[in-house]
Amino acid sequence: MNENRGGRIILHVDMNSFYASVEMAYDPKLRGKPLAIAGNVEERKGIIVTCSYEARAMGVKTTMPLWQARKLCPQLIVMRPTFDRYRKASMAMFDILREYTPLVEPVSIDEGYMDLTEYKYSQPLEISKSIQTRLLEELTLPCSIGVAPNKFLAKMASNMKKPLGITVLRLRELSTTLWPLPVGEMHGVGEKTAEKLNTINIHTIQDLAQGNHVQLKKLLGINGERLKKRANGLDDRPVNPDSIYDFKSIGNSSTLPKDTTDEKQLNDVLNKLAHSVSTRLKRKDVVATKLFVTIRYADLRTITRSKKLANPVGEKEDIYEYAKQLFYSHWNEEPIRLLGITGQDLVEKEEAVKQLDLFSFETEAKHEPILKLIDKLNEKYGSKVIKRGMKGGSKDDNTAGTSFNKDFLQE
């Protein structure tokens, strides 16, 4: 793989059916059986989060409604997620990866990149086999590994053989291995983007690689240029161990037990979501400068509406009030199936500059004596001896809702 400029050797380690595999490792009686993890085990609202390969063989798929999965596989075992268990397994998995190199970049709870360039004169394939064997023997967790000269190709390679696959993808193999694939199977191309590309006769990854630069930029903006480079196997992003701390949004959503138009029930859901988002913002010591509300109707139509905030928010009450304003401004009064709140464009709390206006000045002024006292104490004993809104060492928030953000990886 030394044909790549710089001669990098990048691995993408992707755990196979991670949640289901963790449950099987925890309870060996589940091994070899069709198992699904669902956000809620009630047939009405359950969605498959992940499932074992035995379940997949019966036609069960991720994001499939639970009722449909049970129809395809009557013997399906359904479990709720146990997030603490998954977090511990994830940390153990990444600990093993870091024994080979400090250049490990987690990208989600169950996948990450490794830079093995320092081993270029040894055998990266043998190292990949060692990693895969250790994860299976020590944690009872299967994985697939992609080996390539950059992150994009490594990611594509890890998807090519599951479960327990190791795939090497070289630049010289693009025309035979990567290009024939439908463009919708390319990492970074979602369903809607694929549909847009189809309108300009781009149906395969090769079509994208050879696509018209101007046409792609007009259709997809700067992302069109980026995707064309990826399709040609070009990706110079480094493996960055610190990228796990780079996050832009924190959000939660909740599916209602029944479709409803009851305002009290909807307000209760928004209030719980605001509490959950606020708790997670505080855990990160950040505030949000933009707020999104997601509304999904009974017929699964989904809209997302946002508001740029004059003052950053982190408190539950503020998030709740802004979310309510957004929701009632855009709700068409049809029955609601799901609600979500997301704080975006996050900034460190200490760096947030609050814009005082006629409405907030009086409130802030009331806190001025306390703030002066805090400043004096900090000046005398250190800048962080005392803070307004002290961040406690609380456990993870258990408010109902779903979140798959990167901060799920961190304690």
- Going by C-alpha positions, the residue among 39, 30, 84 that lies closest to residue 65 is 39
- Going by C-alpha positions, the residue among 227, 206, 232, 205 that lies closest to residue 217 is 227
- State phi, psi for 102 to the nearest 5 degrees: -75, -15
Q: Is 348 a catalytic residue?
A: no
Give me the half-sphere count of Cα atoms (radius 13 Å) on the Cβ side of residue 117: 15
The position carrying tokens 């004993």 is 381
Q: Is 95 annotated as a binding residue?
A: no
How far, in Å, are 9, 16, 255, 329 from residue 1 at the CA level?
8, 26, 47, 55
Catalytic member of 111, 185, 263, 368: 111
Going by the DSSP 8-state scheme, the letter that residue 334 receives in this structure is S
Q: Is 207 annotated as a binding residue?
A: no
End-to-end CA distance of the chain: 37
340: left (phi over 0), alpha (psi -120 to 50) or beta: beta
Give the whole-angstrom CA distance, residue 284 versus residue 267: 26
How far, in Å, are 15, 190, 200, 201, 253 from residue 215 at the CA level?
37, 19, 8, 11, 36
- Going by C-alpha positions, the residue among 105, 148, 107, 147 that lies closest to residue 128 is 147
How many C-beta atoms surround the C-beta of residue 272 within 10 A?
Answer: 19
Report the binding-site residues for Mg(2+). 14, 110
The residues carrying an active-site annotation are 111
